Every structure is written in structure tokens, then in C-alpha cells.
Amino acid sequence: MTCLITGASFNLDGYYHGVIVEPFFMPFDGGDNNNGITIIDITDLESVRYCFVDFYGMESAREVELMTPLSARTYLEAYYILDELDEKTERMDLISLLEKFRERDVVTVAKLKETWPDGEWQKDGFVFEEDESDHADCTTTTTTGLKVEKKRTEQTADDLPGATKSLRDHSMNKLMEEILDPGTDNPDLIASLEILNDFIPKLRCRLYERAATLQPTTVSVDLLHKAMKEDVEVDLSVFKNFAVEDLAVLVAKLRGEKMRVLNLSNMLELSEADLQLILGIHQASSKEPETGCQIAMVGAGS
């Protein structure tokens, strides 16, 4: 974040511009904007992509296509026509700036759709659909000032399913690492992530991936509860770092949910008293909890 703010605020010539840090998951059109937005895709730091997008109509001399990734030249020529600039120095400065952008690829429409699925993204004059096979080999025409550029679209590795993680996936992974950090307690961040449809499945996967090293904290117990509260069969056998007391707290939370089968197999160190504590069974009684929860003890010690 610090690098992005610094890079957006300064350049080597001493230029400075204030930067506002917007909240995560803000809609692409959620800010106060009159000149479009700049998108930088840092998913792959070896191949950073960029684009400009106009979604309402910019305060520019010429119109550009809405809701589609614009190249640096297309965006620039919405405001200037290079051949008509009076000042040679200004023209050369802009040409030099465009040369720097030539080193970077433009963000694909597929990536914009994946990051902001609610946007009506345009491609080749059509509203973007999930299946692009009908338009995969079209010729696109973009008007840039008085110049018309034609570019044949090509399918790149970035467009292939599963070839490269999206910017959204990359951001989600970063946030997962943050909330699973033992020293982090950020309920507001967790609450904002919970509104995402894929948060719970991704959280469950990440928790099981880190089961061998996951440390028992109030936050980790709460996250395990969030990830498993819809599960009928709950497997806690892989969370070896959790003490009996930690497991008891978690199971107590899950007993009020949908859990009916609890797997604690291969936890050889658990005694009968430990199991009674975990299941919430009083030592004086051999009854199972009223929820009807069962326990699988395959390979466990006596």
C-alpha cells in the first residue's frame, strides 16, 4: 500500500498530487470522478498491466467508448491530438510518456469482468458475456481523436481459465493471510469479507491448509466457527495445536449449528475426561449432548 501511494503521489521531477485511500471492495464507479479511472493490475509483478476506463463520460475534448479498457494513447487523445499541439516540447513530452506505456499490456476485459462482475463491460461493441467464443477472433475498432486504430484481438495466457490468478483472488489471499495472522484482530475487515459469496469456502480451504501450524486464539476459533457452522460433519482431527479447552469452546459454538458428526480421529492423547469436556458432557452423566452430536474416534486412544 505504501509503495502504491508513494508512486501515485510523486514523480522524479518533483510533481506531487494528494492521494485518498479508498476502502477495499469499493465499486469501480463508487468514487467522485470526472475523468475516468486508472486500473493497475499487480497480480503478476513480472507483467504489470494497466488500463483507463470511462464509465459515465469524461470532461474531455472527445468521447471514448464507455465501460471498456482504454490504452494510454486512446485516453490521451481524448484530451489532446498530438499532431495539433503548438508546443513541440509538450508534444515530445507526451510522446515520451506514451513510449513508457508501450512496455505494458492493457488489462483484459475478462479480468475487469472477473474483478467487478456487476459492471456491464463492453468488448468489440457487445456487452461482455461469460462465453466469449463468438467474439474471440473479432477485429476491434477504436476511435482516438482523428485517428482510427484497428487491432486484432488475440487470446493470451491471461485469458485462459486458471492460467493466472485474478487481481481479486490475489487480494483475497492477502487478506486471508492478514486475518489469520496470530497478532491480528480486525473484526471490521472480517465483517466486510463475509459479504462475499466465496469468502467462507476460501476461508475453510485456507484453515485446513494451515491446520498443522494454526495457533489457537480467540480469532482463529471464531474463524473456524464461521467456516464450519454450515457443516453437518465437522473434522477437527487435523488441528493438532488446539488444546482440549480450545476444542471445547469451538465445539460448544458448533453444537448450536448444523453439526451432527464430529471427527476427532487420531488424537491419541485425548482421554475420556477430555472427550467429555469437548462434547460438553458432565462427568456424572454418560448422556450425549441434546443436539444428537456423535463422535468419530477412529484410531483414537482410550
- Distance, in Å, from the CA atom of 220 to the CA atom of 89, rounded to the nearest integer, reads 59
pLDDT of residue 294: 53
Question: Across residues 205-209, what is the average pLDDT?
Answer: 90
pLDDT of residue 282: 55
- Residue scoring higher pLDDT (68 or 166): 68
- Give the list of residues 6+ apart from residue 12 with CB closer than 8 angstroms, or none: none
Phi, psi dihedrals of residue 30, rounded to the nearest 5°: -85, -10
pLDDT per residue as tens digits for the range 90-106: 778 888 888 888 888 99
Reply yes or no on whether the pLDDT at 219 is more than 90: yes
- Nearest C-alpha neighbor of 269 from the set 250, 227, 297: 297
Cell of 215: 495457533
Please state, for a pLDDT cut of 90, what percent of the chain lies above it. 17
Long-range Cβ contact pairs of 205-212 (< 8 A, separation 24 or more): 206/176, 206/180, 207/180, 208/238, 210/180, 211/238, 211/239, 211/240, 212/238, 212/240, 212/241
CB 259 within 8 A of CB 230: no
Beta strands in the chain (DSSP E): 37-41, 49-53, 122-123, 126-127, 139-144, 147-152, 233-235, 261-263, 294-296
Reply yes or no on whether the pLDDT at 136 is more than 80: no
Reply yes or no on whether the pLDDT at 284 is more than 60: no
pLDDT of residue 11: 75
Name the residue type at position 130. E
Residue-wise burial string across 108-146, b where 16 or more C-beta atoms lie within 10 A, e elsewhere: bbbbbbebbeebebbbbeeebeeebeebeeeeeebebbe
Question: Across residues 2-31, what is the average pLDDT?
Answer: 79
Reply yes or no on whether the pLDDT at 131 is more than 50: no
Report the Cα 209 to chain-centroid distance in Å: 18
CB 235 within 8 A of CB 254: no
pTM for the model: 0.46
pLDDT per residue as tens digits for the range 29-51: 887 778 899 999 988 888 899 99
pLDDT-derived band of residue 62, with 50, 70 and 90 as boundaries?
Answer: confident
- Nearest C-alpha neighbor of 251 from the set 288, 286, 214: 288
Reply yes or no on whether the pLDDT at 287 is more than 60: no
